[in-house]
Structure 1
Amino acid sequence: MDIDWNEAAATFDEDADHGLRDPAVRAAWDERLGGWLPDRAGDFLDLGCGTGSLSLLAAERGHRVTAVDLAPRMTERARTKLAGTGAEVLTGDAARPPVEGRTFDAVLARHVVWTLPDHEAALRHWWSLLRPAGRLILVEGVWGGAGIPAERLMAALAPLNAEARYERLSEDARLWGRAVDDERYVVVATASAGG
């Protein structure tokens, strides 16, 4: 499935779960994100950030946000949305984000893994960007013939010796602004405190 993400930027936030304009949808994502992120504010990397809606929630929780998207029009919108938060918004490849030498307390990728030509290599790289006890948060699913099944994603994480937990999200209509009948989930993988 080829999507022109620059073209999609103009209407991206119209989807309830992208723009988080509905207060109930926004509150539902904020609640979930709060449960996935480390308890203390830290350095947060949002890969494939789109227009920055989840980055904004993390910034509002006190995290120092770096957001990356491949599409310049998405990053333009993310910069506008994140203005005044201190967030850094970069244009670059989510699989190999332009953050050389930096590590993070949490790395989030929402509906990104399924778009990558070599998701296993990207997952290994993202894992290397985590500090000890850092969290890799992957929100994914299978919808309209696209996406990545949870079993496949969990299998790709197995070689990393990650402590991973799976949480089904399909049943929580508040997240999507409507009921959905496809597979939507999050996997939160935690790096060992020993490195």
Structure 2
Amino acid sequence: MTALRTHASVVASYWDAAAPTFDREPDHGLWEESTRAAWARLLARWVPEPPARVLDLGCGTGSLTVLLAAAGHRVTGVDLSPAMVGAARAKLADAGLAGEVLVGDAADPPVRGPAAPADDPGHADAIPGAPPVTPGDGWDAVVVRHLLWTMPDPLAALRRWVSLLRPGGRLVLIEGRWAESAAPSSPYGEGAEPLPWAGGVPAEALEEAIRPLVAAWMTVPLSGDPVLWGGPVDDERYAVVARSRWARRPEQGPPRLTEVLRAARR
């Protein structure tokens, strides 16, 4: 068994065990109507208008997957834990909503992104190391909530996620920094790889990581809204909403920053 498979097995087992009680946290289960409504409003601002193709990575029990499907998006969720995937599929079915939820590694999800024309160096798939894909594919938005801390190589994950976006697509990263220690320990135990962002990631560090990969981004502080979390929080929580590079003719020039951010603020 390879080290990668060992790590994946350890992580999947950890979240399989957590799945039955995962939704007890107010911001996991979104069981308060006010909490669901608050997240739905934010997603409506950050994700293109429906029906958009939206990928929900590390979807867990599918709380955001359901909100995205209810808004009219064509949503696909991905999670490494079969138990989490089962819960997410059940939520969609119980709500009478269409959607797909796959078992897979969110760092390298089992989906395809857009193919870049050879003369389009500004396209997302021009990023070195991006996998070959089929023309015509591509995601309007990739949504990722509180997942980067679980990544052995978060920078590689960010590159992969950007490569999945269509030109001008959006990457929504809902993140935070919740551990005081400079080197917090991984919860996964023996067999798992080290996690460089195990305690979360400060907004400034994530902005620096995403800077070379996207056309523009904005950071939205979220700690000050207790409704999102089921109560007050005293750690750093935020969203980075980024826009992928646009496929444009050379005479058009790069997209203007105001053009990119205006759409993300809708």
TM-score calculated relative to the size of structure 2: 0.70
1:142 aligns with 2:170: no
Alpha-carbon distance change, 161 to 42 in structure 1, aligned in 2, over 3 angstroms = closer
Q: SS in structure 2 opposite 1:171?
A: coil
CA distance in 2, matches of 1:15, 1:162: 35
* Structure 1 runs not aligned, ≥5 long: none
- For 1:40-189, list aligned pairs within 5 A: 40-83=50-93, 84-100=96-112, 101=133, 102-145=137-180, 146-189=199-242
- 1:162 deviates by 3.0
Cα gap change, 1:85/1:159 in structure 2, threshold over 3 Å: closer, same or farther? same
In the alignment of these two chains, the number of paired residues is 194
Higher mean Cα deviation, 101-110 or 172-181? Answer: 101-110
Native 8 Å contact 2:50 2:71 kept in 1: no
Paired AA for residue 168 in structure 2: A
1:18 aligns with 2:28: yes
Query: Whole-Å Cα distance in 2 between the matches of residues 176 and 49 of structure 1?
Result: 17
1:191 Cα deviation from its structure 2 partner: 1.4
Deviation at 1:132, TM superposition (A): 1.4
Tell me the secondary structure at the aligned position of residue 99 of structure 1.
Answer: coil
Runs in 1 of length 4+ with deviation above 4 angstroms? none
The answer for unaligned runs of 5 or more in structure 2 is: 1-9, 113-132, 181-198, 249-266
More displaced, 42-51 or 184-193?
184-193
Q: Sequence identity, in percent?
A: 54
Is the aligned partner of 1:193 residue 2:250? Answer: no
For 2:97, give the aligned amino acid. T
Q: Quick check: 2:214–2:242 contact (8 Å CA) kept in 1? A: no
Q: Displacement, 1:158?
A: 1.2
- State the structure with more CA Rg: 2
The structural deviation recorded for 1:161 is 3.5
Deviations along 1:113-169, one digit per CA (max 9) or x if unpaired, are: 121011111111110100111100000001134111111111111111431100000
Cα deviations by residue, 1:61-98 (Å, 9 ceiling, x for unpaired): 11001000001100000000112322111000000000
Q: Compute the displacement of 1:176 (Å).
A: 0.3
RMSD: 1.4
Q: Is the 8 A contact 2:214 2:243 kept in 1?
A: no
Q: Give TM-score scaled by structure 1 length.
A: 0.95
